[in-house]
Amino acid sequence: MMKKLAFVMVMLLTFCIMAQDKTVTDVKEILDKMDKVYRADSSEFEMEMEIITPDWQRKMRMKAWSEGMKKTFITILSPSKDKGIGTLKVNSDMWNYFPKVNKVMKVPPSMMMGSWMGSDFTNDDLVKETTFRDDHTAKLLESTEKDIIVIELKPKESAASVWGKIIAKVRKSDYLPVSEDYYDEKGMKVRTMTFSGIKEMGGKIIPSVMEIIPLNKKGNSTKITYLNGKFDIKLDPETFSLRNLQKMR
């Protein structure tokens, strides 16, 4: 009898551990999926960015190339006044290029939290190399919606992150992101990102519209709409060079 009971106990325990393991893998899988929504070994996108503030509104069309997490190149196509303005990011370095004055400016570390091209994205958003999977500890939270998984992400101490925590909502069916709420270190919600317009693009299913609303700036928002894109394409290594930045004008 005792033996039987012990066996059941051991079985139960093993099952529990296994079950826990299962959720851990699940979360990792979700995070991995979230990290790779817009990322691939290489990509090329054309997108539109609409910035709204109480004082002005602006629409820009731009083209972006990326290679892994480390390299990104963005050039503005329109309006014509800004055509050719480019941003190059290699590792944690970032440069802006202004064709009118033929000037490449390195973005200093002090400007990393500054706005990128007047949008609600910070320069840091473009540069950051942290991933949800490797640089955050994740905890599943109870979801009030049936098809939604809610995850709380806290940056690991080793990760260079400006956030206190991120609450991400993803679809249960395909782990595509629905929204991400960013909190500062004091626990105040600072900005909200929402994802919509799920579409097939370049062989991948992605939310084609991404909207960011900073909560500390009333009336501001930035919306990025992906117009078309390709993934895993062969890119000229020269793409991510300062020379190319100046050539794009």
8 A C-beta contact, residue 172 and residue 184 = no
Token pair in block for residue 81: 């006044």
Q: What angle do CA 116, 230, 149 make, to 5 degrees?
A: 70
What SS3 state is found at 164?
coil
82 is a site residue for another protein (CB under 8 A): yes
What are phi and psi for residue 146, nearest 5 degrees? -65, -45
How many residues line the site for another protein (CB under 8 A)? Answer: 17
DSSP label of 58 = E
58 is a site residue for another protein (CB under 8 A): yes
Q: Where are the alpha helices (DSSP H) in 98-188?
A: 123-127, 132-135
8 A C-beta contact, residue 84 and residue 63 = no
Stretch that binds another protein, among 61-69, 112-120, 176-184, 185-193 (CB under 8 A): 112-120
User: Scanning the structure block, which residue is given the tokens 């054309």?
Assistant: 46
Interface map 35-54 toward another protein (x if CB under 8 A): ----------------x-x-
Answer for which of 43, 72, 96, 122 binds another protein (CB under 8 A) is 96
Answer for which of 70, 100, 139, 156 binds another protein (CB under 8 A) is 100
The nearest distance, CB 85 to another protein, in angstroms, is: 7
Stretch that binds another protein, among 18-26, 30-38, 92-100, 205-213 (CB under 8 A): 92-100
Q: Contact positions toward another protein, by CB under 8 A?
A: 51, 53, 55-56, 58, 81-82, 85, 96, 98, 100-101, 103, 105, 117-119
